């Protein structure tokens, strides 16, 4: 069975990655890619690596002859877009922004959104109609913490994470410009990052009782893509007990892998994979996790969710090679 997909906001980083993945998906036809600012232009003039791969052009008009609609808009724009445009309830929506991730604002009109972290609630995603794709930092942090939450082991968690420049989007700002980013790092949004809300909701679904407080310091890094997280907390389990906990939790999840060797970004960049490693020092546990912010942290996870929604192989279109060298 083949389905038809439409993309709203196809000119940015996540939109470009989504186009690339859909063009290579065995069961999807890309019907249109919408962009107000680029309507009429060939897609390969914006995403230049697609020269010779697709003859599609950006469009400024919308079509309802689709099965799934991907929203690759800025935060706050998805709800506005759905409110201003009428679409049949028969097709599914996958939102890559943060508009519907929290339970307190997970609906608009007749559309109810399910939080789309497959490693947390795969069966709910399978039966859903609309998906709120998780944030990139949120994905990387949660994948490191979910097994501990299920075991009731979370308390105070001190998390640091570093992300590549693509996490800031394609529009230039002082801190995303090459001359600022090169040979430079900076902390930002210390303890106030917007992903903390969705992280808190997710871990509390697995550990509803007890104190959980995640203290997160994000960093801007001197590289283009990828996220590396280190979360530190008090834990009395042995390393072997912890690895068994993690390996059991992720046994049915094809994109999350547990390593007993030190992990690094090049293992995951250009893939939909997440890798996790555990370290102990005394009574302290450090959980390292790494993902590609544009794939498992955005467009790859959106395709993974689409596969689950339509009953495809969860890995369809996502068997990607890491950019290792």
Give me 187's structure tokens: 């902390």
Which residues does the annotation mark as catalytic?
Answer: 136
C-alpha span between 227 and 248 (Å, rounded): 24
In 3D space, the residue among 287, 243, 269, 258 whose CA is nearest the CA of residue 323 turns out to be 269
Task: Compute how many other C-beta atoms are within 10 angstroms of the C-beta atom of residue 322.
Answer: 14
Give me 224's structure tokens: 């283009």
* Contact call for residues 113 and 94 (beta carbons, < 8 A): no
113, containing H or E segment: strand 111-115
In 3D space, the residue among 163, 192, 191 whose CA is nearest the CA of residue 176 turns out to be 163
108, containing H or E segment: strand 107-108
* Contact call for residues 25 and 88 (beta carbons, < 8 A): no
C-alpha span between 78 and 135 (Å, rounded): 14
């Amino acid at each position: 069975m083949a389905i038809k997909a439409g993309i709203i906001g196809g000119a940015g980083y996540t939109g470009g990655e989504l186009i690339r993945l859909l063009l290579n998906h065995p069961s999807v036809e890309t019907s249109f890619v919408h962009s107000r600012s680029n309507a009429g232009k060939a897609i390969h003039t914006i995403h230049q690596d697609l020269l010779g791969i697709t003859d599609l052009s950006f469009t400024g008009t919308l079509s309802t002859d689709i099965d799934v609609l991907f929203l690759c808009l800025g935060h706050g724009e998805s709800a506005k877009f759905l409110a201003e445009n009428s679409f049949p309830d028969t097709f599914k929506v996958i939102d890559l922004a943060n508009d519907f991730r929290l339970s307190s604002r997970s609906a608009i009109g007749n559309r109810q959104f399910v939080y789309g972290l497959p490693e947390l609630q795969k069966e709910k995603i399978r039966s859903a109609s609309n998906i709120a794709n998780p944030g990139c930092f949120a994905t990387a942090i949660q994948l490191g913490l979910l097994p501990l939450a299920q075991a009731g082991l979370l308390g105070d968690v001190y998390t640091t994470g570093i992300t590549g420049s693509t996490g800031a989007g394609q529009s230039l700002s002082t801190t995303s410009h090459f001359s600022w980013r090169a040979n430079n790092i900076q902390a930002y949004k210390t303890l106030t990052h917007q992903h903390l809300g969705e992280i808190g909701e997710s871990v509390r679904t697995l550990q509803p009782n007890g104190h959980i407080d995640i203290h997160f310091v994000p960093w801007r890094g001197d590289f283009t893509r990828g996220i590396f997280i280190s979360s530190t907390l008090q834990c009395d389990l042995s390393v072997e007990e912890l690895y068994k906990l993690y390996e059991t939790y992720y046994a049915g999840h094809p994109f999350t892998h547990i390593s007993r060797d030190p992990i690094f970004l090049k293992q995951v960049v250009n893939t939909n994979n997440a890798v996790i490693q555990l370290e102990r020092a005394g009574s302290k546990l450090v959980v390292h996790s790494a993902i590609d912010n544009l794939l498992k942290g955005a467009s790859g996870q959106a395709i993974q969710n689409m596969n689950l929604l339509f009953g495809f192989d969860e890995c369809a279109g996502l068997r990607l090679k890491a950019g290792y060298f």
